[in-house]
Amino acid sequence: MCLVLVASVGAAAYVGHQRRPPTPVMGPVTEHGILRYALPVGWQVTTERGAGVSNVTAEEPRQRGRTLEVIVVPRSPRRSNAPGLISALLRNQIEGEPIDFLGEEGVLVEARLLLPSPDDGEDGQTAARIALSAAQVSGLYAAVVLRDGTGVAVSLRGESAFGPSSRKLIKEVVGAMQLVPNAGGTPISTTVSRPDEGEDAGPVDPELK
C-alpha cells in the first residue's frame, strides 16, 4: 500500500513537472513603438508596427507553449479605465487585482474559459475548435489606460499560462515597461524574428500573413 502511494505521488510530481512551464530568461529592454520592455529570450517574436503603435507577440518554443502579447490600443475619449479595456478585449467583465502599470493604476485578471461538456450536443470537430479557441484566449491579462486615453494590454495565454511562474512573468514584463518620450509614427509593417535567427526576417506584407 505504501509503495503504491509513493509511486502515485511520484507520478503526479513528474506529470506536474512536465506540465509546469519553465521560468524564462528575460532579454534586454528594447524599444517597441511607444513602449520599451523586455521579452523572454528564445521566444519567436512577431511585431506589427504603424503610426507610433507596436503590437508584439512572442511564442514560447515548446509543445503547448504560452503566447505573450503586448497590445497598444489607440487613444479613445470613451475609454476611462483598465477594467473597461479588459472587458472590451475579452468581451466579458472579470474581477481582477490592481497593479502598478506605467505609473498608473492598472488591473491584472485571470481568464479561464469553460468548455462545453459532451452532453451539450457538440460533435467532435466542433468541440475541438472550441477547446482550441479557449486555449488561445484563456490566460492572464494586464491592462492600463493612460491619461490621454491610450490603452496598453499585456496577455499571457495558453493551457499552461497560469500559476506562480506565469504570474511572475507577466508582472516582470509589466514592471519593466516604460513609455518612449516623443515616440513618432512609422509606416505599417510586420516582422518575424525566430529564435535561431540573429535578426528580424524583414518586412512582410500584412495581406500575405
Q: For residue 58, report the phi and psi dihedrals to the nearest 5 degrees.
A: -120, 125
User: Which amino acid, residue 71?
Assistant: I
pLDDT cut 70: percent of the chain above it: 61
Task: Answer whether 178's CB lies under 8 Å from 102's CB.
Answer: yes
- What does the pLDDT look like over 182-195, one tens digit per residue? 765 444 344 565 55
Residue whose C-alpha is closest to residue 186's, from 63, 52, 57, 26:
52
- Look at residue 105 and tell me whether its pLDDT is greater than 80: yes
Q: pLDDT value at position 164?
A: 93
Beta-bridge partners for 144: 152
CB contact set of 37 (below 8 Å; sequence gap of 6+): 29, 30, 70, 173, 176, 177, 178
Q: For residue 53, report the phi and psi dihedrals to the nearest 5 degrees.
A: -115, 140
Average pLDDT of span 161-179: 94
Average pLDDT of span 24-41: 93
Domains by residue range for the chain, with CATH: 24-208 (3.40.1000)
Average pLDDT of span 103-115: 83
- What does the pLDDT look like over 148-169, one tens digit per residue? 889 999 999 998 898 999 999 9
Beta-bridge partners for 58: 45, 68
